[in-house]
Structure 1
Amino acid sequence: MALVKVMTEAWDHTVYLATETYNVVVLGDTEDKSFKSIGFTSLKEVAVFGIICLFNLIVFQVLRMTVFSLLAKIFLRKKKNMISFLFSCREAAYYSVSVFCCFRVFGQERWFYDLKYLWTLMENYETKPAQKFLYLVELSWYLCGIFRVWYEPRKKDFKQMLVHHAATITLLGISYVLHQLRIGVVIYTLHNVADPLLQFAKLFKYCGSELGATALFVPFALAFFVTRLIMYPMLCYYTIFFGPGYQRNLYYPSEIFSMGLLCLLIPIHTYWFYLIVKVAIKSISNNGKTDDSRSDSEDDEYVKPQKKTQ
């Protein structure tokens, strides 16, 4: 009975957060019904996150079997790219919605655009219901992403994706528990901005439109370079030299660990941008045909299982 009560309260709380998200986005009501987010402090809080994760898996699996599969039947040129097409549909759908909601829900905050406000008045910062809900959805996406990366057909950058997802989950989780959602929001926004362009470029390629793929790949490369190789290192700099540890002249172990994870993502981003440059060079040599080194076709994108020898 106790478990049923916890799950019932968690469901009601999840519906409340989702409803408040709708009100904030549509009506712009960002001042009323504020409350502090103090992390996973009860079974109800954990259950809320569990419900969001479960819906994350169910909703995108249903979309895969219905809408995305129908789009594949209509537009996909080569059936051998079916897995990649469905993957890109899922990623494009989520990241597009995520970026849109992020700018609508957090766009009115000064710290969202100016990093000098990122670490000011953290003790008095209240997390509005819409912001908390959106943050938990993002955290659930990366957690479910670990599951998908592990159990779905493995790509050649499997290890990099696994480390990247694990580091991102840890960063978002720690920032949530420590009531530092500002930096978590900036982290995942910088990660998500370029992704819709990449996924839609892939979809155009799988559908046989090299022109559309190239037209989207160029702004994707620019967005990736700006957000992950310029703005993200700036975020790391402001966190190390203007964060709570710097202000109090004492860094807690959790803060040192978090800063290490922040910096760990930089070489991964650099490696991925190296692959992007290879694609650009190959595209120029192939008269504009884009072949993503991370995902050009299923023959090259996924790790082929080794044949057993007698």
Structure 2
Amino acid sequence: MDLLPDLWRQEYWLPPGVTWEDLERLPDSERPRPKDLLIALPLALGFVAVRCVFERFLAPPIARSLGVKNRFQSTAAPSPQLESFYTHRSKQPTQSELANLMVLCGKTQRQVESWFRVRRNQDRPSQTKKFAEAAWRFFFYLSAFIAGLTSLINRPWFWDQRECWRNYPFQPLERAHFWYYMLELGFYGSLLLRISVDVKRKDFKEQVIHHLATIFLLSFSYCANYIRIGTLVMLLHDSSDILLESAKMFNYGAGWRKTCDSLFVVFAVVFLVTRLVIFPSRIIHTTLLLSMEVFEPFAGYYFFNVLLMVLQALHVFWAGLIIRMVCKFFKGKLEKDERSDEESDAEAEEEDKAKEEKMDQGGDCYWEKSKETLNSKLSVLTNSCVLTNLTYHRSSVANREHKAQ
């Protein structure tokens, strides 16, 4: 019971010598209050509802206009035993489990492996689902970036980061920045609510860490009145996310390869510059060093900078993926997003399917053809040996006759 009051101890949230009573000198409309964060909860649910409407009614016509089409996916043959194992045990059985399934179903190892591969491909999200998700993020990031830039471009701390700490923590909260914070919090909350049904990518764990770190970062910076530096962090992240989601949208469409490649190159440049250059040199440098010109370190100072470091570590991780994709791009081997869901592609599936039809489904026919081929080769070999022996015999007879003469 004493944990909650201890959590709000002023030395955790405010610089030394500043109390919560001191902040009450600001009018209620200009002072960030922790209870304001509760507004983000209904906003998150609202974003989920709006997104459902968007993906149901707006995304499909946009996808059709860009030529987005779902790939043909074959359906796994009905098999109650394999389906039960797939649903309740594992989608990728081990070697020992494969042996048990072979005995249980009376299938070969190749057939069982092929069934699981086709079944996993059935669960892969369609192109239209991927497009709808990318389009939703694109429109939000674009709207948030325009709104954030409009509300910040005339503010002094946008150009001079020392202004982020002038008169801290007695800085009035502007109404535009209040809603900027609440909408961003609500959006990232909605991403967490939908993360179990969204397209699952290779960096799923990193995405969860990113969303949680962002929510904690925004929540703490709001309560501690780090509003000015917080708005710069949000604007910086939205700038490159717009290009990423737009490149994905065109990647799923047919006939937009050059547009997608161009957007990807621009995104890579913007991401590397904003996340690996501007973020550490401007944002982290400001919070670590420039803030010390105004106040002494306190618990909130360390917590806030640790969260920024977590984000920076994720930036480095994603930068590695992007650089790999850029290298493949210039080598002409860039085919898909490095973060995309991984499974065997359609060509491999069709190749294996063709092999199975030859080896399993048409076993008798395949054996007869193989036997005929083997017999023909043996006959050729036999004839060759016979002809060689006859030729050798004739030459030896001729030699004997020549010597006798």
Same-fold call, TM cutoff 0.5: yes
**Match of residue 285, structure 2, among 232, 237, 257:** 237
Secondary structure of residue in 1 paired with 2:29: coil
Is contact 2:37-2:182 (8 Å) kept?
no
Q: Name the counterpart of 1:196.
A: 242
Q: Which amino acid aligns with 1:241?
A: L
Is contact 2:63-2:131 (8 Å) kept?
yes
Quote the offset at 1:34 in angstroms: 9.7
Residue 200 to residue 184, structure 1, CA distance change in 2 (3 Å): same
Q: Name the counterpart of 1:88.
A: 134
Map Cα deviations across residues 125-158 of structure 1 (whole Å, 9 max, x no partner). 2122122112110111112122222342421100
1:31-110 matches, within 5 Å, as 35-41=29-35, 45-79=36-70, 80-110=126-156
Secondary structure of residue in 1 paired with 2:165: coil
Map Cα deviations across residues 256-282 of structure 1 (whole Å, 9 max, x no partner). 111111111112101111111111111
Confirm whether residue 212 of structure 1 aligns to residue 259 of structure 2: yes
Quote the offset at 1:300 in angstroms: 7.7
Secondary structure of residue in 2 paired with 1:194: helix
Question: Aligned partners of 2:252 and 2:191: how far apart in 1?
Answer: 22
Question: Aligned partners of 2:306 and 2:344: how far apart in 1?
Answer: 33
Q: Which runs of 5+ in 1 are unaligned?
A: 1-32, 302-310
Q: Which amino acid aligns with 1:191?
A: H
CA RMSD of aligned residues (A): 2.3
Confirm whether residue 162 of structure 1 aligns to residue 208 of structure 2: yes
Is contact 1:95-1:192 (8 Å) kept?
yes
Confirm whether residue 292 of structure 1 aligns to residue 337 of structure 2: yes
The percentage of aligned residue pairs carrying the same residue is 26
Residue 300 to residue 277, structure 1, CA distance change in 2 (3 Å): farther
Quote the offset at 1:290 in angstroms: 5.5
Q: Name the counterpart of 1:13.
A: none
Question: Aligned partners of 2:344 and 2:273: how far apart in 1?
Answer: 28
Map Cα deviations across residues 70-126 of structure 1 (whole Å, 9 max, x no partner). 222343433131221111111111101111111111221111232222211223421
Residue 109 to residue 153, structure 1, CA distance change in 2 (3 Å): same
Between Structure 1 and Structure 2, whose CA radius of gyration is higher? 2
Q: Which amino acid aligns with 1:214?
A: D
Confirm whether residue 134 of structure 1 aligns to residue 180 of structure 2: yes
Quote the offset at 1:35 in angstroms: 3.3
Q: Which amino acid aligns with 1:278?
A: R
Q: Which amino acid aligns with 2:46?
A: F
Confirm whether residue 114 of structure 1 aligns to residue 160 of structure 2: yes
Confirm whether residue 143 of structure 1 aligns to residue 137 of structure 2: no
Q: Which amino acid aligns with 1:238?
A: T
Secondary structure of residue in 2 paired with 1:179: coil
Quote the offset at 1:50 in angstroms: 2.8
Is contact 1:160-1:268 (8 Å) kept?
yes
Is contact 2:43-2:187 (8 Å) kept?
no
Is contact 2:130-2:199 (8 Å) kept?
no
Is contact 1:213-1:290 (8 Å) kept?
no
Question: Aligned partners of 1:40 and 1:55: how far apart in 2?
Answer: 21
TM-score of the aligned structures, taking structure 1 as reference length: 0.78
Question: Aligned partners of 2:239 and 2:344: how far apart in 1?
Answer: 26
Is contact 2:203-2:339 (8 Å) kept?
yes
Residue 277 to residue 55, structure 1, CA distance change in 2 (3 Å): same
Moved more, 265-274 or 150-159: 150-159
TM-score of the aligned structures, taking structure 2 as reference length: 0.61
Q: Which amino acid aligns with 2:34?
A: F
Q: Which amino acid aligns with 1:175?
A: S
Q: Which amino acid aligns with 2:235?
A: T
**Match of residue 261, structure 1, among 299, 307, 317:** 307
Q: Which amino acid aligns with 2:315?
A: H
Is contact 1:39-1:178 (8 Å) kept?
no
How many residue pairs match? The answer is: 262
